[in-house]
Chains A and B, each alone.
Chain A
Amino acid sequence: MKKVIKQIPLIFCFLSLISCKNSQTKLEGKEIPIDNTITADPEIEEFIAPFKEHLNKTLDSTLAYNPGVLSKGEKGMNTGIGNLMADIVMEQANPVFKSRTGNSIDFVLLNYGGIRAELNKGPITTRDAYNMMPFENHIVVTELSGEKVMKLLSYLEKGKSAHPVSGINIKMNKDFKVISASVNGKSIDPDQNYFVATSDYLQQGGDSMYFFSDPVNLYNINYKLRNAIIDYFHKIDTIKAKQDDRFIKE
């Protein structure tokens, strides 16, 4: 045993030399869940409190009243909540667009995927507007050729989705083929240009709406979609949105 101990320093030397020459870095990586096993820091919570209070007060103040649940789950090619959003864009953006260009928006197209939350029955708050539209998307108006509008219609045929519209009437047969499409009571004219309002996200190719990509003219009216919704809720007392016959299938 004594013998062994005496030899040890020599071994040490040898080992450490090797380790000096072949210096190593060992790495260990992991993720730690931030869950309920961790108690919150009271000082941080106190710091957040005034921000939170002000935010909640603003978010939860009642703006309007909704007499019935509006959900994107409604069957058919249009939904109450989709109609509400598209109608809000038409109503809120058209005066701005008109005052800047002298023209009027012909119709509005949004996307079904952009309806982010349903609207419960009862008081409607700013928080609801944030839930409906959590993104910072802006309303834009595109001047589209009649040809591009025809592409827009074939997009709707392929999509088979209840994309929200306002200002246009579309009728499809049972195979999702458009049998009529009209604006202001007149059928779409392939030789005429149309002013179509949408979001900057969709105009830039979101949801593959490429017919918006290269419009004759593009107008950014500097109006956020969410702000349009909030302004509209401020303006009205009771929401009257419902399913109708603007976009239907036989």
Chain B
Amino acid sequence: MKRRNFIQQTSAASAFVGLGGLSSLSFSEAPRHITILHTNDVHSHIEAFGPDHHRNPNMGGVAKRAVLIEKIRKENPNTLLLDAGDIFQGTPYFNFYGGELEFKLMSKLKYDASTLGNHDFDNGIDGLFAQLPHADFDFLISNYDFSNTIMDGHTKPYKIFTKNGVRIGVFGVGIELKGLVNDKLYKETKYLDPIEMATDMSNTLKKEENCDLIICLSHLGYKYDSEKVDDHKLASKTENIDLIIGGHTHTFLDEPTIVKNKADKNVMINQVGCYGLYLGRVDFYLNGSKSVAGNGKSVEI
């Protein structure tokens, strides 16, 4: 009897699924699927860890990451690949080649954009500038004012990508360099308030650029007990950001964190530790009309 009930319920459920499918065909577009892949704090880890490594045996490696990314791109061509900074420093590859190989490989893997981390200044702002010709992707950072430096004009505050008709606005925010990086290295780079800049950016992307999705690449760090600005504070003090891809604190999350923003809507924060051990993946399914921010956003994890 119980089994029979179950079968009846199942067929009712399938019928409903069927309705949904038909309905989208005849009335509105099918849910549009956008995949965001991301890394952070890879720190020049070009090769995988060796089999004898005490903590991460056989983990990581750019050549393996490349295969995984291509597989996902084949499943969903509407995919963006992003990095949240600290590409440089951590293995002799950086000391020997100054970041050339890191940028060349990220270009081969077809990264769409990255923000900057504090360690990306480890060979000075001139060292970073010197490697730019090897990067076929954009550096997005809204709260570093480079006007009095050699980097002036070589970064963008934000960039808009259109995938399957969905406008995706991506902007970057970086950590305060003072005290973290020798001032001789970052020279006259001016640090601007990340919350203020994120507010401006998300406003511009939402209202002027009519973006459907807004992603913030952040190298601020996941969470601090102090007053220091972090991804949680950034999420709760702004509106219109859908996803924060974090870095700096090398935080491994079992699952993405959901924080309520200023307008009581959900913001997802994701970060994948460090050294290219993991690839972060966030899938967006956009239903109905284009304006998605706000109205009954459900978050499924």
Contacts and interface: CB of A to CB of B under 8 A. Distances in A.
Interface of A: 8, 11-13, 15-16, 19-36, 38-42, 44-45, 47-48, 51-52, 54-55, 58-59, 127, 130, 134, 136, 200, 204
Given A24-B287, A29-B301, 7 more contacts: A20-B27, A23-B288, A24-B292, A25-B284, A26-B300, A34-B65, A34-B278
A55 B96 contact: yes
A229 to B, nearest CB: 13
B282 A28 contact: yes
Contacts of B66: 40-41, 44
Contact of A26 (B109, B284, B290): B284
Contacts of A52: 46-47
B59 to A, nearest CB: 6
A200 B122 CA distance: 13
Given A19-B288, A22-B295, A28-B300, A35 B59 contact: yes
A20 B48 CA distance: 47
B285 A25 contact: yes
Nearest to A59: B92
A28 B287 contact: no
Contacts of A25: 213, 242, 284-287, 292-293, 297-298
Contacts, number: 181
A29 B297 CA distance: 15
Nearest to A136: B122
Nearest to B179: A204
A145 to B, nearest CB: 24
A40 B292 contact: no
Given A58-B96, A200-B182, A29 B268 contact: yes
Contacts of A23: 286-292, 295-296
Contacts of A44: 62-63, 66, 105, 108-109
Given A26-B284, A45-B63, A48-B63, A12 B92 contact: no
Contacts of B182: 200
A12 B300 contact: no
B64 A34 contact: yes
Interface in B254-282: 255-256, 268, 270, 272-273, 276-282
A224 B92 CA distance: 14
A218 to B, nearest CB: 12
B93 interface: yes
Interface string B37-68: 00000000011100000000011111111111
A58 to B, nearest CB: 7
A245 B40 CA distance: 46
Nearest to B180: A204
8 contacts: A16-B26, A23-B289, A24-B298, A26-B284, A31-B272, A31-B280, A32-B279, A48-B46
Contact of B63 (A24, A41, A130): A41
Contacts of B19: 8, 11-12, 15
Contact of A27 (B20, B280, B283, B295): B283
Nearest to A46: B63
B90 to A, nearest CB: 8
A148 to B, nearest CB: 21
B212 to A, nearest CB: 8
Find the residue from A15, A27, A130 having the highest chain B CB count within 10 A.
Answer: A27
A22 B289 CA distance: 8
> What are the 8 closest A-B residue pairs judged by CB atoms, nearest first?
A23-B288, A40-B63, A29-B256, A16-B27, A44-B63, A41-B66, A31-B278, A25-B292
Nearest to A12: B23
A15 B252 CA distance: 40
Contacts of B282: 27-30
Nearest to A9: B26
B17 interface: no
B240 interface: no
A60 to B, nearest CB: 11
Contacts of A21: 288, 295
A20 B291 CA distance: 10
B47 to A, nearest CB: 7
Contacts of B122: 136
A13 B90 CA distance: 58
Contacts of B295: 21-24
